[in-house]
Amino acid sequence: MKVAINFNQKTSHDYTVYINELSSLKFDTKVAIITNPKVAGLHLKRLLSLLEAKEVYIITVADGESFKNQKSVDFILENLFNHRLDRKSLLIAFGGGVIGDMTGFVASIFQRGIDFVQIPTTLLSQVDASVGGKTGINNAYGKNLIGAFHQPKAVYIESSFLETLPQREFGAGIAEIVKMAVTFDKTFFSWLEKSDLHVKAHLAEAIKKSLETKAWVVSQDEKEQGLRAVLNYGHTFAHVIENETGYSRYLHGEAVSIGMHMANMLALSLGYFTKEEVKRVEALLHQYHLPTRYHIRDVEKFYEGFFLDKKTYNATIKFILPQGLGNFIMIEDVAKKTVLDVLSRCGEDGEVA
């Protein structure tokens, strides 16, 4: 299966996402694979058996979001220079979103930009992070605040890499799939409700559907000046939750799951979503053991947290809310009182009231 990424404004090159088609990779250049010890231990042998290139180097950085930083970037760059990679060389990102974002960023700055290929190995990076060209690292001021738009040359999705993925990481990826369905595609949402994504063929179909949605969004709005912001549905809330819990209690996708439920509750209170729809989305998230409720101790403080997000310009909060299943609305003028009221009810277990 293939998904084409074609840009409306030809500032970036078009490319292809290949799904379950990785049989061989041939490059007439030097190649450096950027990975981490966990992914290398599990899957590098297989990748190397498929790869042919002039020279192949392996650069391993420590595993984890806390290593998505300038220090790791410097380490990778140093290795590239030591191995004498040049402007024609190619990087391969082999790992989850952390490796993908960081490799893409290094590719964007090494000798003013070289090609890179994404081979994502988590569900989250397969359905979301590896496509669209957002690259970057974190610093003391926040997540992904340093980076560049740099599109990969190609993306290879292999669902067999997911066989070693822990269940929680799998669920985290599902949250991003649900995100695409709720905001853009009602038919896809209904299909998800009745399809078990632990079944291989269903998963491949869900990956393809999500990528088609992402491809369409990114082709309309590569640099996030409008439509692409819809992919942040649930994220405005999730970022505050991640911040409050020190990025340790929840995986990103789990925080997004809670964030989507919060967005849905807000949409319900504003009349854009029915109680039935809130329940359907929550039930789907629960099928994959995703959390949806989070008790906020101080709703005022949580609200203040929205303003720390780099996507909150000019002190207004732009909420991305579902408007019926498969549709969205971007809305800026929600009364603070309405938001606080919803936030104060989001931690309650049980029936949606």
Residues 6+ apart with CB under 8 A from 271: none
Alpha helices in the chain (DSSP H): 37-39, 45-50, 70-82, 97-109, 123-124, 167-184, 186-194, 200-220, 235-244, 252-270, 275-287, 299-305, 336-345
Q: How many CA atoms lie within 13 A of 5 on its CB side?
A: 27
Where in 238-277 is the site for ligand NAD (CB under 6 A)?
252
DSSP readout, 109-170? HGGG--EEEEEE-SHHIIIIITSS-EEEEEETTEEEEEEEE---SEEEE-GGGGGGS-HHHH
Q: Which of 16, 18, 25, 42 binds ligand NAD (CB under 6 A)?
A: 42
235 binds ligand NAD (CB under 6 A): no
Q: Is there a contact between 57 and 33 (Cβ–Cβ < 8 Å)?
A: yes
Bridge partners of 156?
18
User: Rounded CA gap, 107 and 90, in Å?
Assistant: 8
Annotated catalytic residue within 65, 69, 212, 224: 224
Which residue number is nearest to ligand NAD in terms of Cβ?
97
Where in 61-80 is the site for ligand NAD (CB under 6 A)?
63, 65, 68
Name the one range near ligand NAD by CB under 6 A: 22-30, 96-104, 297-305, 331-339. Answer: 96-104
- Answer yes or no: 134 catalytic: yes
CA 137 to each of CA 14, 73, 243: distance values in angstroms, whole numbers, following the listed order: 24, 8, 16
We find the least distance from the C-beta atom of residue 282 to ligand NAD, in angstroms, to be 22
134 binds ligand NAD (CB under 6 A): yes
- Answer yes or no: 209 catalytic: no
- CA Rg, the chain, in Å? 20
CA 166 to each of CA 213, 227, 304: distance values in angstroms, whole numbers, following the listed order: 26, 32, 34
Residue type for 241, please? I
183 binds ligand NAD (CB under 6 A): no
Annotated catalytic residue within 232, 254, 280, 282: 232
132 binds ligand NAD (CB under 6 A): yes
Nearer to ligand NAD, 238 or 296 (CB): 238
151 binds ligand NAD (CB under 6 A): no
- Answer yes or no: 228 catalytic: yes
We find the least distance from the C-beta atom of residue 115 to ligand NAD, in angstroms, to be 17
- Answer yes or no: 112 catalytic: yes
We find the least distance from the C-beta atom of residue 261 to ligand NAD, in angstroms, to be 19
- Of 98, 95, 123, 156, give the one whose Cα is nearest residue 288: 123
Which class for 311: exposed (0-12), middle (13-18), buried (19 or more C-beta within 10 A)? middle
User: Rounded CA gap, 318 and 211, in Å?
Assistant: 25
101 binds ligand NAD (CB under 6 A): yes
- Answer yes or no: 88 catalytic: no
Q: Is there a contact between 93 and 66 (Cβ–Cβ < 8 Å)?
A: no
Nearer to ligand NAD, 185 or 242 (CB): 242
155 binds ligand NAD (CB under 6 A): no
Nearer to ligand NAD, 20 or 29 (CB): 20
We find the least distance from the C-beta atom of residue 130 to ligand NAD, in angstroms, to be 8
Q: Which of 31, 172, 266, 284 binds ligand NAD (CB under 6 A)?
A: 172
Q: Which of 33, 98, 255, 343 binds ligand NAD (CB under 6 A)?
A: 98
Annotated catalytic residue within 143, 208, 209, 228: 228
Annotated catalytic residue within 112, 194, 297, 337: 112
User: Rounded CA gap, 183 and 148, in Å?
Assistant: 26
- Of 119, 116, 127, 113, give the one whose Cα is nearest residue 94: 119
Q: Which of 124, 230, 268, 320 binds ligand NAD (CB under 6 A)?
A: 124
228 binds ligand NAD (CB under 6 A): no
- Number of C-beta neighbours around residue 118 at 10 A: 29
Query: Active-site residues: which are they?
Result: 112, 134, 176, 214, 224, 228, 232, 235, 239, 252
Kindly list the residues in this chain that would bind ligand NAD in the complex (CB under 6 A): 36, 38-39, 42, 63, 65, 68, 95-99, 101, 121-122, 124-125, 128-129, 132, 134, 143-144, 161-162, 164-165, 169, 172, 252
